[in-house]
Structure 1
């Protein structure tokens, strides 16, 4: 939790936090659909398909963190795992995309699986 002095020096702007969350949601939805296309073309079934989605969704979160959040927080002197300045909660950042993109993943996975295997 930032101290009062830190909040006065660099305040957390709720509009920016909402924008970051919305952008992350859009990225996760798009990548979930692309992962569904990949899983369908590869012909993955059952647990292997869901494991594929889980691994690549977490990999996407790691890449977003490494490429966008960590350099910004390191430049400001914050600990690298502190995502609360940019998103509502660390839980939302790391696992929010798992449930947000699941429906799109399943739809595109089954569509492309059916197209390739038919």
Structure 2
């Protein structure tokens, strides 16, 4: 957590944090539909389909962390208070599980649609 002095020197803009959250949620919603297409075409059923969604959603979050968040943390590592994930998101949990439940309905819809189209 940043101290008051650090926030005065380099304030965190809440609008930017909110924008990052919305962008991540949109990404999870779009990829959830793509994962549903993949699970339907592969013919996955029951728990295997949900495990497929969970694994690939976590991979998506890991890729966002690796290519977007981590380089920003490395560049700002010379400032001790700025190397926190809270500069980009409200918490680190939000990065990993933020869009997990929001994208679930889109996943299930496209999963059942493409499963029905392939198996018909």
**The TM-score by the shorter chain falls in which range?**
over 0.9
The match for 2:75 is: 75
The match for 2:23 is: 23
DSSP 3-state at the match of 1:97? coil
- Take 2:102 and 2:10, find their aligned partners in 1: how far apart are those partners? 30
Deviation at 1:90, TM superposition (A): 1.4
- Take 2:6 and 2:67, find their aligned partners in 1: how far apart are those partners? 24
- Take 2:5 and 2:75, find their aligned partners in 1: how far apart are those partners? 18
TM-score under structure 1 length normalisation: 0.93
The match for 1:53 is: 53
- Take 1:100 and 1:63, find their aligned partners in 2: how far apart are those partners? 19
TM-score under structure 2 length normalisation: 0.92
The match for 2:97 is: 95
Deviation at 1:36, TM superposition (A): 0.3
Superposed CA deviations along residues 48-87 of structure 1, whole A, max 9, x for unmatched, are: 10000000000000000000000001111169x8321111
In structure 2, stretches of 5+ residues that fail to align are none
Provide the aligned length of Structure 1 versus Structure 2. 117
- Take 2:10 and 2:103, find their aligned partners in 1: how far apart are those partners? 33
